[in-house]
Structure 1
Amino acid sequence: MNRDADPLFKPLARDALSQRIAQMLTDAIVSGRLKPGDRVAESVIARDLGVSRAPVREAGRLLESAGLLVSKANRGFFVRTIDATDLDSLYELRLCIEREAIARVVREGRVAQIMPVLLAQIEEMITSASENQLIYQIGVDLQFHRCIVEASGNGRFLTVFDNLASEIQACTALIERVFDEPGLVARNHFLIIEALETGNEDRARAAMEYHIGVARKAVVGHFRSLETGAAQ
């Protein structure tokens, strides 16, 4: 065996390890094994996984930025407290904003202006889904929707959207774990593209309503089933 040749396996980078741990924690949250308000103990997770605390801490920070965890001074990370009713209210508010935002984009003739960016973001979502880059995909998904809201020209819409950003990111993470097929959510964004290309406000509204509605039904329904199971 030639020892000077490139190694068959390369060392796993710390960021890749933290991404894998973040995915494990996300699965635990969505499945209900980690419940709202539960403490995510770095030392316990590190011991169970046989790793140092550093990548666990980095995974915690990734999920904090994604809205699934919250950090408390001198206490560590905790699972964000969110229930089915809360989620449903969030989706309802998102729908009100994004449905009218996309209609304004069509009405103001700004579709061509943002189309290249939207298409590029969908491709990024699909690629990151196939490579299991969950946190990155969440960020790109958020930017896709933010681009439409910003292009609407309604500053109030954008302010509310940005204030909800962490919760929207959390919902995106939940969607990706509820649907089994990698990239399905990303590809569903093409329905919005097709509606924008028609130049019809009503079709744009309908596409956004359908897109957010599918996610709303899946995620809220999933959480309701978890809550029902916990109550029994």
Structure 2
Amino acid sequence: MSAVPSIDGPALALGRVATRSDLVAESLRAAILAGRLRPGQTLVERHLAAMLGVSKTPVREALIALTASGLIVMSRHAGAVVRTLSAPEVRTIYELRLLLEPWAVGRAARRHGPAAAAEARAALDEAEAGAAAGDPVAVNLANRRFHRALYSRADNELVTAQLDRVQDLVALALQVAQVWRGGARPFGQAERAEHAGIVAAVAAGESERAEALARAHVEHAAAALELPPDGSGPDVAGPVAAGPPGGPGPA
């Protein structure tokens, strides 16, 4: 089976691709999470099929899968649309993340500390390289790999699957937060220090410390979103084909 190209950027490479519709879904997921397909943007099957060089059938199947994951919603009039999150929805996403991810990181430290830390460090190196190159999309994808390298080592497939979905929604939340704030949040020193602390605790097998640091990191990421008090969502709809060149900022 020939590879389906992504939409103007790298795929996520999370190790869950099997069929042609899976490849299309990964390409679309990567484009959404990198901000190339924006919240509120209509996705037209025939346009996507032409861009990816496939028939409409795998595109339709991919859109159904992404609807199930929460990245896309189906509208009676507009068809498939990249999901736009309201402030209350974003808060709910971070509440769920706060419940699951710190526990998973602590368990990963206890069960697979050195291996999990090594994979996470590699992702951090990729993030630094992306930051040095001025490539926010590379930073965001590396940041996602960093978090998955840790929580996926908790030896709980249900938690990993749920956190994969949460991370998808976090990426959408960062995009709408970028509109609320009027710009992307850079990959700063505070976040670098938090990541380094988590990795050090995981490498040492210090599960309680790793869990506490991961919890603080998620709390800080939620606070950095600067959610509006009225609970309204932004108007971030864009054109059909492509989103902005930069990503929404790490979390």
Q: Give yes or no for contact 1:126–1:186 (8 Å, CA) kept in 2.
A: no
Counterpart of 1:121 (choices 102, 120, 123) is 123
State the AA in 2 paired with 1:64: I
Query: 2:157 corresponds to which residue?
Result: 155
- Residues 229 and 65 of structure 1: CA distance in aligned 2, closer, same or farther (over 3 Å): closer
Please point out which of 106, 109, 128 is paired with 1:106.
Answer: 109
Q: Which residue of 2 aligns with 1:134?
A: 136
CA distance in 2 between partners of 1:186 and 1:135 (Å): 17
Structure 1 residue 158: deviation in Å? Answer: 0.9
TM (norm. structure 2) is 0.56
Match for residue 43 of structure 2? 72
- Counterparts of residues 164-183 of structure 1 (less than 5 Å): 164-171=166-173, 177=183, 179-180=185-186, 182=188
Inter-partner Cα distance in structure 1 for 2:29 and 2:155: 33
One-letter code of the match for 2:216? Y
Using a 3 Å threshold, how does the CA distance of structure 1 residues 198 and 171 change in structure 2: closer, same or farther?
farther
What RMSD over aligned residues (CA atoms) do the two structures have, in Å? 3.4
Task: Give the Cα separation in 1 of the matches to 2:122 and 2:139.
Answer: 13
Say which one has the larger Rg.
Answer: 1
Identity over aligned pairs, percent: 20
Unpaired segments of 5 or more residues in structure 2? 1-7, 10-27, 46-77, 236-251
Higher relative contact order (CA 8 A, sep 6+): 2
After TM superposition, list the pairs within 5 Å mapping 1:54-65 onto structure 2: 63-65=31-33
**Aligned positions, number:** 171
Q: 1:189 to 1:83 in 2, by over 3 A?
A: same
Structure 1 partner of 2:12: none
Instruction: Give the superposition deviation at 1:132.
Output: 2.4
Paired amino acid for 1:192: I
TM-score, scaled to structure 1? 0.60
Shift of 1:77: 9.1
Deviations 1:156-175 (A, max 9, x none): 11111223342132345577
Verify the 8 A CA contact 2:87 2:233 in the aligned structure 1: no
Distance 1:88 1:229, change over 3 A: closer
Matched, 1:202 2:208: yes
Residues 83, 223 of structure 1: 8 Å contact kept: no
2:133 and 2:96 map into 1 onto residues whose CA distance is 31
Unaligned runs of 5+ in 1: 1-17, 20-59
Shift of 1:227: 4.7
Deviation at 1:130, TM superposition (A): 2.9
Structure 1: which amino acid aligns with 2:215?
E
**Partner SS, residue 121 of structure 2:** helix
Give the distance between the partners of 1:163 and 1:73, measured in 2 at CA: 23
Tell me by how many angstroms 1:72 deviates.
Answer: 3.0
